[in-house]
Amino acid sequence: MSIASAIIQNTPIFGKMFTVDKSTGLEEINAWPALMIMASFVWLAIAGLLGFVMPATQIFDLDTGHFYTTLTLHGAALAFPFSFQLMMGVGLHRSGGCVGKAVTGVFPALAFITMNLGAALLTVAVLMGLKVSLIVMYPLPIVGAQMGIWSMNSVILGFTGIYLVLACMILCYPILVLKMLFFGTKRPELVLSERSLNDPGMVGMTLSALTLLIAGTPLVIVGTTVLFALYGVIPMTMAAWATEPVVFQYAFFIFAHNLMEAMALMVMSAMYATLPLYLADGTRKLFSNRIANAALWILLLTSITSFLHHFITLYPNQPASLSYWGNIMSWGTGIGAALSIFTVLATVWQHGLRAEPGIIAVLAGFVLYILDGASAMVTSNIAWAFQLHGTMWQSGHTMTVIVAMSMMWMGVLYHHYPVITGRKLDPVLGVWFVRLFAVGGIGAALSMLAGGAAGMPRRFAAWNQEGWMIYGNLILFFGLILGASFVVYAYSLLKSRDISSPVVHQVAAA
């Protein structure tokens, strides 16, 4: 038994959901992905509970400090140890089955440890008083310590946690994916559904890993310099260049924006790989691989520099031409999205669809992702950004992209789950999960966007001002529905039943 399998087996409640099936000889591609997926659901439970504390501080007029603490923890837990780690686990399982390579060794362990240890350290730092948003506006953490709002120890601990999470996303995971795709010996007994590197399901995976590695390298350099200075390894004067707000923020947004794009490329590739497996006529082919690949390349090329639209309000620090360029590239991503929509609809129209819960969850998540893309294109516009960038509109955009991709990955996991665990999920519970998630996700997204359009500020604890509480109540209502969908999904995992016949490669994950 591997270390990963042992950890899962000894974890209460969540371990029962993801106990690895060792009878098929596939433990080498099942164990570490299963552990990552299990850990992501632990963080989802934490993020979900924290999500309900925020409106509770409004309703019961609690200390606003609780609001900002839970807001920081909720956003961080949802974005990284849940959403990204879920993608990491399912994506690695899919990679292993497509190329016949084991998910074992140092890199899977490092990816798991850096993500979860980093998230845990950041959580402790926030509980110590550090309150920063997902957008780490440097030098705000240092200024907060100098003003006595939080301690310098919490800043150092928080930065250590953030650095470890970044190490997972920028180094450990991408290097592992590229290592599996291009190096090592293929083992026929581990091949579940072989795919070439020209397949859209593999192209997106490759582009995603390269995006994380390349776009994240400047932030690794800056972050390493700052961290060494915080620990006294080098004098703070040697880190002065890295602590310039413009340098830090540009390095941060080059990665942070492209992180979302990389995750989108990965989930699009997973959809392109999974959809053909559920076509009614059994053809297992997309309408056009060329159009699908073109959509991925367009999304990549247009999204790389679209991060510049985040700096529209930094005049005169950023030339106007760069702001307009970021706006144009943001709208350019719509071309790739349009081609993706066409490919999906044309494939279903041509071949029909077996409407099972997993693929319906993927497609529903795709609809939510398109809605988020529309909101992003609005806020990237220079005129609108001055009105919306500091409001709940931007929070709604951030939340929606995370929720949309999470729904798609949970749908893909529905397909992979029998291979990993040797058990099958109840389709009735799966249908209820999709219904509740779709209503909750779309409702919460529209509520946040509406609040932002009405001028409701983000990261602001007094929702009762200017009539904004109505939007807070709507967010809470749809958040409860969204939470109910997660409970249904978790219940289906707990109540999963053994597959009577052995899992065979023909029904394995793409």
- More confident: 92 or 373: 92
For residue 497, the surrounding DSSP H or E stretch is: strand 497-498
pLDDT of residue 195: 85
pLDDT of residue 388: 83
Residue type, 262: A
Pairwise CA distance, residues 453 & 387, whole Å? 8
The answer to whether the CB of 287 falls within 8 A of the CB of 318 is: no
DSSP letter at 353?
Answer: B
Q: What's the pTM value of the predicted model, to 2 decimals?
A: 0.91
Burial code of 303-332, b = ≥16 C-beta within 10 A, e = fewer?
A: bbbbbbbbbbeeeeebeeeebeebbebbbb
Structural domain 355-510, CATH architecture:
Up-down Bundle (1.20)
pLDDT digits (tens, 9 = 90+) for 49-66: 888 888 788 777 777 778
What average pLDDT does the segment 405-411 reach? 92
Percent of the chain, pLDDT > 70? 95
Q: Which residues pair with 423 in a beta bridge?
A: 498
Helix axes 85-99, 173-182, angle to 10 degrees: 10
pLDDT of residue 503: 42
CA dihedral 375, 381, 383, 384 (to 10 degrees): 10
pLDDT digits (tens, 9 = 90+) for 69-78: 888 888 889 9
pLDDT digits (tens, 9 = 90+) for 456-504: 888 888 887 788 889 988 988 999 999 999 999 999 999 988 876 444 4
| Exposure of 359 in the CB half-sphere (CA atoms within 13 A) | 18
For residue 52, the surrounding DSSP H or E stretch is: helix 27-59
pLDDT of residue 140: 67
What average pLDDT does the segment 82-108 reach? 92
For residue 423, the surrounding DSSP H or E stretch is: strand 423-424
pLDDT digits (tens, 9 = 90+) for 116-160: 999 999 999 999 988 776 566 666 677 778 788 888 899 899 999
Percent of the chain, pLDDT > 90? 48
Residue type, 342: F
